[in-house]
Amino acid sequence: MIRSHRHPILPVPAVDALSDTLGINRSFHHGTVPCMQYRRRSRKAGIMASDNTDTHGTSDVSESAEGTVLGTDRPRHGGGDDRGFWARWSWAIICGWFSVIGAILLMASAGTLVGELRLRADCTEITDGIVTQMILNPADPDEEDSSDTWTPVFRYGVDGRSYEQRASVASSPPRYEVGQAVTVRYDPADPSRYVVEGDNAALILYTAITVMCLGFTAVLPVALAVRRRR
């Protein structure tokens, strides 16, 4: 036997009589009690569904608003922000030219400096010498910072043979006077190669030029190192 779990349906007159007997104020005029319960449950379910819809809707709006705010923080990629090749690499090209020119000059100056050091190492013998003249090198009239310089000429003798040599470096003011006695160091294998004792003008000049050329050569590596740290 199959039992039905449905609520019993009471006629409207019976419901009215039952309500009057129990003192219940009935708020409906038609229908049955189970129908009212079903309607109330349906109404509550509808309210809960609408609340969930409002909640999710608000969340969606907030998420969309958040997305809008985050979107404004992102960098815009437009044509104005794209820099050309020259704007990006001009610093590298300029620094590269400095380094290339500096490297070429560095090889020349370093060779001259090495030659001067080798000359001083080879000149081991000593003899007496004298300054025979001071050659005037007039200033360049086209250059405002140019000035007159003087180049000394030395005379010394080795094994009965006289050598008269002009210094490789001029100076202003002159660092010698005509007739001044000097001590000359010369190379025994080639007496024409000499240095004046205590005269370091050539060594200082070649060292300064080499250091300056080395600085030009290091322009590009230093620029790259600084740019990587940023």
Mean pLDDT of 36-62: 48
Q: Are 127 and 109 in contact (CB under 8 A)?
A: no
Is the pLDDT confidence value at 33 over 50?
A: no
H/E stretch holding 92 reads helix 85-122
pLDDT at 35: 46
Q: pTM (2 decimals)? A: 0.56
Lowest mean pLDDT among 34-48, 109-123, 157-171: 34-48
Distance CA(158)–CA(164), nearest Å, equals 11
Q: What is the pLDDT of residues 129-188, one digit of tens each?
A: 999 999 999 988 888 888 999 999 999 999 999 999 999 999 999 999 999 999 999 999
Is the pLDDT confidence value at 204 over 70?
A: yes
What is the CA angle 135-140-146, rounded to 5? 90
Cα dihedral angle (61, 62, 66, 71), rounded to 10 degrees? 0
Quote the tokens at residue 148: 């007159």
Q: What is the pLDDT of residues 50-101, one digit of tens each?
A: 455 444 444 444 444 444 444 444 555 544 444 677 777 888 888 899 999 9
Q: Share the mean pLDDT of the chain.
A: 76
